[in-house]
Structure 1
Amino acid sequence: MTGTFLRGLAAGALGTVVLDAATSLDMALRGRPASSVPERTVDAAAAALDRDVPGRGQVRRNRRSALGALTGIGNGLASGVLASALRSAGVRFPAPLGALVAGGTSMALTDGAVAALGVEDPRTWGREEWLADVLPHLAYGAAVQTVLESVPTDAERAAPVPPPAALTARALLLGVATGGRSSLGFAGPALTAPTRPGAPGHRSRPARVVALASLAGELVADKHPATPDRTQPGALGGRLVAAAVGGTSLAARERVNGALPLVAAVAGGLAGSVGGLRWRRWAASRMPDLQAALLEDAVALGLAAAACLPGRSRPPLVAVPR
């Protein structure tokens, strides 16, 4: 685990340097000014915490600039650690796709925070704004992927086992279920995990208790009128992350490459989130909201069971060393 973490820090550090260099090169070529988004994000985050950046005049501006830069560094390091952890967990993307995923993840974290804090709406950006955002993050992703492939763990030296089609389909189903009830991404695999210690995908009793509690809590909270729209940026991002965790967990249980199950689960999570919201809106004028929510509960739980129960006692496939 330490090796995975340190490798992720190294990958994130190199990626951040490359991203900053690409951004500076873009500024030099186009003569554009530095973005004010990092500083405004700091202001918005401070306001959300009912705080203010201390100081006056130039002192305060310097602090805002430094905090904005530190936020970017933290994002880059965290994204690198996440990419390293996914690879150690068996998610092995081809190099070009891995670079896209790493860069896209970092960009999504940044832009998601910007949107959630109300700093800017990325949907209103023009071509130049998107290019200034996408290209440096692609460079970041390429640097991260290079480090990950250059420093493999012992387990990664074996050729990855392709996932069976049935497993990918089950990951898709779990993603749809997670789009309806986000806790199922963790709770589904945890509650159906093998009980034998040391078995692939085994979960401890405390983990099962936490999974059950989180699922029960969401089933109750979903019925509350104040529950936010599941397709809001923050809520949707959380559901997609939960779906990715679920797909990766199913793949880890069978010790196969988790890249395709992860993608399938995320796609299912998006479909389940949008579909569930449309169902509730359609049902709003046709039945009591509680009845619609309970029907959605039943569908989500049924899909999760169909996704997680098969294969739980199947012997794992064995990777072939190269």
Structure 2
Amino acid sequence: MAPPSRPSGPRSPTSVLGRGLAAGAVGTAVLNAVTYADMAWRGRAASSAPEEVVEAAVHAAGREVPGSGAERRHRLTALGALSGTGAGLATGVLVSAARAAGLRFSAPVGAAVTGAVAMAAADLPMGALGVSDPRTWSRQEWVADAVPHLAFGAAAHATLRALEPAAQQRRRASAGLVLRSALLGVAAGSRSSLGLLAPALTSSASAGAKALAVLPVVGELVADKAPGTPARTSAQGLPARFVSATGGAAALAARDGANAVVPSVAAAAGAAGGAWGGLAWRRWASARVPDWQAALVEDGVAVGLAAVACLSGRRPARASTLDGPAPVGR
């Protein structure tokens, strides 16, 4: 018997990775071409920022680039170019994974978003390592940095769209899906685990998997009553609520075969409302009843909203063909 083949469908990890690497490679080639064209047009020298970032990163790790003199400079130049290529490929894979999760933008918006991600991948390390401070750049320097990355975004986004199978196309999100995503976001803003786990609990997963998914929800419901739990609007608590809300919205969109962009935005807005609204409720109610009672009311509202958001969007299971043909009505 032949060994089972690996999955290669439109959503398999290999296809997402392959399309992402292709998009990143095309985008990087276009970025380099635009950069060299600018150098030829203005007669400017190549930027030394990539080499400086590599050198600063190696130094921060407590190591040194081997060699001396020209040999060391050449090695830094090569490492700087390789780091840029790696960042471009990684950006392509990230955007490909986002598209596979249902985040689909129009061509202009997709080019801008992809270019912004690539630009952040290049500029944030410079600021973090002290190589350069983008806040001090002139307008001309910003344009010189933004235009090649916008070209990267346009090329990478176009490549992903060209390579994407027809079976992976998503339709526009319905108003009902957007509303359910917003409700799930409110629930996640109140109890962060509900954003990702409520869709899982209402999916076709096995009973064992659902039982495991219940544990984090129960754990959060208990931990919420502990006095040492960080505030939900703190730097520790708020990002997880947004991630959970948008991830849950993407899962709901995947059920409907819909684009996840608008549902994710609605879920993020709902998470903000749930976080600050829930905090306001607890402060108001705690002045009138014990805090644990106010927390239990909030638990019920959050679980109820998550149930409404996820249960109402489920499609009925198809009848099995193993039971024979359905009876013909008269």
TM-score (norm 1): 0.69
Residues 1:34 and 1:164: Cα distance change in structure 2 (over 3 Å): same
C-alpha deviation, 1:61, in angstroms: 2.0
Residues 1:196 and 1:181: Cα distance change in structure 2 (over 3 Å): closer
* Distance in 1 (alpha carbons) for counterparts of 2:77 and 2:105: 36
Tell me which residue corresponds to 1:262: 264
* Distance in 1 (alpha carbons) for counterparts of 2:75 and 2:211: 43
Percent identity of paired positions between Structure 1 and Structure 2 = 44
C-alpha deviation, 1:301, in angstroms: 10
C-alpha deviation, 1:96, in angstroms: 1.7
Tell me which residue corresponds to 1:132: 144
AA matched with 1:312: L
* Distance in 2 (alpha carbons) for counterparts of 1:239 and 1:133: 33
* Distance in 1 (alpha carbons) for counterparts of 2:270 and 2:124: 20
C-alpha deviation, 1:302, in angstroms: 6.5
The reply to whether residue 111 of structure 1 matches residue 110 of structure 2 is no
Residues 1:90 and 1:229: Cα distance change in structure 2 (over 3 Å): closer
Residues 1:223 and 1:14: Cα distance change in structure 2 (over 3 Å): same
* Distance in 1 (alpha carbons) for counterparts of 2:167 and 2:247: 20
2:173 to 144, 153, 163: 163
C-alpha deviation, 1:107, in angstroms: 1.6
Q: Secondary structure at the match of 1:311?
A: helix
2:252 to 250, 264, 276: 250
In the TM superposition, 1:1-322 aligns within 5 A as 1=12, 2-157=14-169, 160-172=170-182, 186=196, 189-190=199-200, 192-197=201-206, 204=209, 208=213, 229=235, 244-265=246-267, 306=305, 310-312=309-311, 314-316=313-315
Instruction: Report if the CA contact (8 A) 2:87-2:122 is conserved.
Output: yes
* Distance in 2 (alpha carbons) for counterparts of 1:172 and 1:112: 31
AA matched with 1:165: A
Q: CA RMSD in A?
A: 4.5
C-alpha deviation, 1:80, in angstroms: 1.2
Residues 1:304 and 1:185: Cα distance change in structure 2 (over 3 Å): same
AA matched with 2:161: E
Q: String of CA shifts for 1:35-94, please: whole Å, max 9, x gaps.
A: 222122212322332222222222222222222211111111111122222223333222
Structure 2: gaps (5+ residues): 1-11, 284-290, 317-330
* Distance in 2 (alpha carbons) for counterparts of 1:118 and 1:188: 43
Residues 1:150 and 1:243: Cα distance change in structure 2 (over 3 Å): same
* Distance in 2 (alpha carbons) for counterparts of 1:262 and 1:83: 15
* Distance in 1 (alpha carbons) for counterparts of 2:309 and 2:266: 17
AA matched with 1:208: A
Instruction: Report if the CA contact (8 A) 1:11-1:147 is conserved.
Output: yes
**Which stretch shows the higher mean deviation, 73-82 or 39-48?**
39-48
C-alpha deviation, 1:100, in angstroms: 1.6
Instruction: Report if the CA contact (8 A) 1:250-1:308 is conserved.
Output: no
Tell me which residue corresponds to 1:288: none
TM-score (norm 2): 0.67
Q: Secondary structure at the match of 1:256?
A: coil
**Which stretch shows the higher mean deviation, 69-78 or 101-110?**
101-110
Residues 1:61 and 1:258: Cα distance change in structure 2 (over 3 Å): same
* Distance in 2 (alpha carbons) for counterparts of 1:301 and 1:37: 53
* Distance in 2 (alpha carbons) for counterparts of 1:89 and 1:173: 20
AA matched with 2:53: T
Q: String of CA shifts for 1:236-285, please: whole Å, max 9, x gaps.
A: 7x88766653432232233211122234456677x68xx97xx9xxx9xx
Matched residues, number: 292
Structure 1: gaps (5+ residues): 284-291, 318-322
